Amino acid sequence: MASNRIATINQEIQKELSSLLRTVKDPRVQECMISITRVETTPDLRFTKVYVSFLQQEKANEGMKGLASAAGYLRRQIAANLQLRHAPQIQWALDDSITYGAKMLELINSLGVKQDEEE
């Protein structure tokens, strides 16, 4: 039963962070497209690990620095909007699964294998 609660809180934090990222005034965050791919929160709700992916990989390092500097603001907003007793401390992690998937798709398409028209 506790795992269902944590899963629900993870979804709510992900949804809230997605909307809050638009309000961050740090230019390092505003200049890049950031996608939150996954959120993992500890059972005691003290820490949350947020996996993010960047559309422009060359801006990923600067974007991560901007997210780290905005973590306090985002933490306060999450606590207020979700009405949590303890606001979880946000830890950011770079998730390159979208980039990896795009690279694999490009490699598959470069093989030049043509499918039958009937299938």
Domain boundaries, the chain: 2-110
Alpha carbons 30 and 28: distance in angstroms, whole number? 6
Res. 1 pLDDT band, cuts 50 70 90:
very low
What global pTM score does this model have? 0.80
Average pLDDT for residues 62-90, to the nearest whole number?
A: 91
Q: What percent of the chain has pLDDT over 90?
A: 50
User: Averaged over 35-39, what is the pLDDT?
Assistant: 93
Measured CA to CA, the distance from residue 98 to residue 117 in angstroms comes to 29
* Tokens coding 11: 């979804």
- What pLDDT does 96 receive? 81
pLDDT at residue 86 in the model? 83
- Contact call for residues 63 and 32 (beta carbons, < 8 A): yes
CATH number for 2-110: choose from 3.40.50.1000, 3.30.300.20, 3.40.50.720, 3.40.1190.20: 3.30.300.20
Q: Is 96 exposed, middle or buried (0-12, 13-18, 19+ CB in 10 A)?
A: middle
